[in-house]
Structure 1
Amino acid sequence: MYYIGIDGGGTKTETIVSDRFGRCLGSSLISGTNPNFVGADPALANVAEGVRLAMEGLDPLPIAHVAVCIPGMRKYAQEVAAALLLEPLRITAASDTMSTFYGALVKEYGVVLLAGTGSFALGVAPNGKTVTIGGWGPVIGDDGSGQLIAVKALRAAARQFDGTGPPTLLTDKIKDYYNIDSINDLKTKVALDNVSKLTYFVRDAAEAGDLIANVILRETAQNLADLVTDTLYQLEFDAEITDVALAGGLWELGDLLTAPFKALMSGVYPNVRIIPAVFPPVVGALLTAFRADGIRWTKELLDNIGTTIPERKGSK
């Protein structure tokens, strides 16, 4: 019997397949499956394609359970089951909050801060109290997210064009990215699903000393620290030591983001331990599939996952 975890967002989707003992047998990495970004039909098609790629070369054994941990996908659970040719009872459709939590901490309490295309903080206290802050999506706003970094970069370029803001290296980088001659052409180029990669141009501009890019990253660090401190406050973690695990691709920006974030956190909650995620969210999705089918997360199962995660197939 196979267990499958799927973790998707606005720009990429990871799928992992294992047996009931946590021995990972295949995986894939393809483009986005958040229906709010790419649309429902392309999202469902990508989910099916990700599973197909991850199961290439495997024996045709039955699929016991699939956890689909993708924002906005819960209302499409029936359609996911149909796309994968499975009974609906074998599908758990959820957001990426608990899968991120389970993967990052592999325990029942603590705080996970996800910073990727979107952002949120999820905290669980020892008494079971749960608090989630953020995760509102690109329209209402994901503070500290890659999407918001990209939006701020676009705004900076627009202000320079209008003559209401200072010059910034971001302008030329954005023109190159969209293959345009004038920032004014952004009005017909920008869409929700094509801005998040601008995040890395902000990092590059900041490393080159660009003032605006550095301000954007400092504001992002503050936004992310606020997510965690507000979560800890609502959980009433006054002086207790707890782990805060950092998950999501935004931390690949390195010290330009992590250093100010850690400094801000230490000034408010000095006893908090900031740690890297134990596993990526896709493993949290796999753990969600096990849990939904009544399989406990034993040390043997977790060790098997940790030593057998295979190479990814597919492309971004």
Structure 2
Amino acid sequence: MRSSEQRRWFVGIDGGGSKTTAAVCGADGQIVALAMGEGSNPLSRPWPEVEETLRALLRDCFQQAGAAAHEVEGLFFGLAGADRPQVQTQIANAFRAEWGERLQIDNDAVAALYSGTWGEPGIVLIAGTGSIAYALTADGSRHRVGGWGYLVGDEGSGYDLGRQAVAAVLRAFDGRGDPTALTGMLVSHYGVEAPDQLIARLYGSPNPRRELAGAAILVDRAAAAGDEVAGRLVRQAAASLVELAEACRAKAGERLPVVLAGGLLASDTMLRRAVLQMARFEAVLPDAPPVTGCLAEALRRAGLSVNAAVRKNLCRYHPEGEANGGELV
């Protein structure tokens, strides 16, 4: 991708625990460069590695756009954990000297929120590997519900669905639960011959949380095919997610729209359908991935309007496989 003659550039970076996406647009919102790299959560990777990931993505995007650093008027980093003071300090120490006040830092939940509200107040409900509801109100106050991690939270998340699915398969194997199509699906997915071999496979994994989250899509597929056990798990997950959003709205004290984000809610899944069916709030389905929320906020903070034409341009470039999502730690 090459740039036009316009030389007012804006950069957005959306970074979570598993991947980071960077993009460059002009003042009109037209995206001229996009790059993807490893996760950039400073709480789960050493900071020097995170910094190099961010710098590599910036170099890649600038090269694609034909842009020079001094032509960049605004950057918005939406990174997992970046609402924590120590993380903000790390990012600022690494990038503030060269970017100054052009650099704005926030967490990746805000990036996902703004991909649906374009900078306006609202709540983002994220169901990816983990789950959380995060509100930003008209007066600038913030509220979070959930997001407490896989040991004590993450209800309705990919991890939770995957764990519940394996538990259901093992219960059926024991004769304590109903038969389910998930048995054959999980045995095949994990490359084992029988359900009792799932234990060694999962406990021996270097990242059981991610392994279990990867099985969530199987639950959704089984539910779509009419499996009763999978359908029950999806409904339970949806109820947990709706509970997160409702509790967050109560904390915010405003009837805010709820943006649905994360790998399990970004597309037309059975889980999203169940959430929409149960919801008593206004649900927003973003037309673009979270990195566009970062670009929109970079434009806004530079004093530019994110009007309908700009939004149309921001939504026009939607790379295959780039799902709305986020991870707040």
TM range (shorter): 0.7 to 0.9
Residues 288, 315 of structure 2: 8 Å contact kept = no
Q: 1:87 aligns with which of 79, 98, 111?
A: 98
Structure 1 counterpart of 2:296: 287
Give the CA deviation at 1:217: 0.7
Structure 2 counterpart of 1:183: 198
Residues 77, 91 of structure 1: 8 Å contact kept = no
Note the alpha carbon deviations across 1:163-202, whole angstroms, 9 max, x for none: 6544433333333333334213222025334332211111
- Alignment of 1:99 with 2:116, yes or no, is no
Q: Supply the distance in 2 between the matched residues of 1:42 and 1:54 (Cα, whole angstroms).
A: 18
Residues 27, 313 of structure 1: 8 Å contact kept = no
Give the CA deviation at 1:20: 3.9
Structure 2 counterpart of 1:5: 12
C-alpha distance 199-46 of structure 1, shift in aligned 2 (>3 A): farther
Structure 2 counterpart of 1:109: 121
Note the alpha carbon deviations across 1:210-244, whole angstroms, 9 max, x for none: 3332121101110111112212223334xx6x533
Aligned amino acid, residue 277 of structure 1? P
- Alignment of 1:309 with 2:317, yes or no, is yes
**165-174 or 112-121: which moved more?**
165-174
Q: Supply the distance in 1 between the matched residues of 2:87 and 2:28 (Cα, whole angstroms).
A: 29
Aligned amino acid, residue 97 of structure 1? A
Structure 2 counterpart of 1:71: 80
Structure 2 counterpart of 1:197: 214
- SS of 1:254 mapped into structure 2: coil
C-alpha distance 311-107 of structure 1, shift in aligned 2 (>3 A): closer
Q: What are the within-5 Å matches in structure 2 for residues 9-24 of structure 1?
A: 9-24=16-31
Q: How many residues align?
A: 305
Q: Supply the distance in 2 between the matched residues of 1:281 and 1:290 (Cα, whole angstroms).
A: 15
Structure 2 counterpart of 1:34: 41
- SS of 1:250 mapped into structure 2: coil
Q: Supply the distance in 2 between the matched residues of 1:260 and 1:311 (Cα, whole angstroms).
A: 27
Q: TM-score, normalised by structure 1?
A: 0.79
Give the CA deviation at 1:108: 2.7
Q: 1:120 aligns with which of 115, 132, 137?
A: 132
Q: 1:210 aligns with which of 198, 217, 227?
A: 227
Residues 223, 231 of structure 2: 8 Å contact kept = yes
Q: Supply the distance in 1 between the matched residues of 2:138 and 2:67 (Cα, whole angstroms).
A: 42
Q: 2:238 aligns with which of 209, 221, 228?
A: 221
Percent of aligned pairs with the same amino acid = 26
- Alignment of 1:256 with 2:265, yes or no, is no
Structure 2 counterpart of 1:247: 261
Residues 157, 183 of structure 1: 8 Å contact kept = no
- SS of 2:104 mapped into structure 1: strand
Aligned amino acid, residue 258 of structure 2? V
Q: Which runs of 5+ in 1 are unaligned?
A: none
Give the CA deviation at 1:66: 3.0
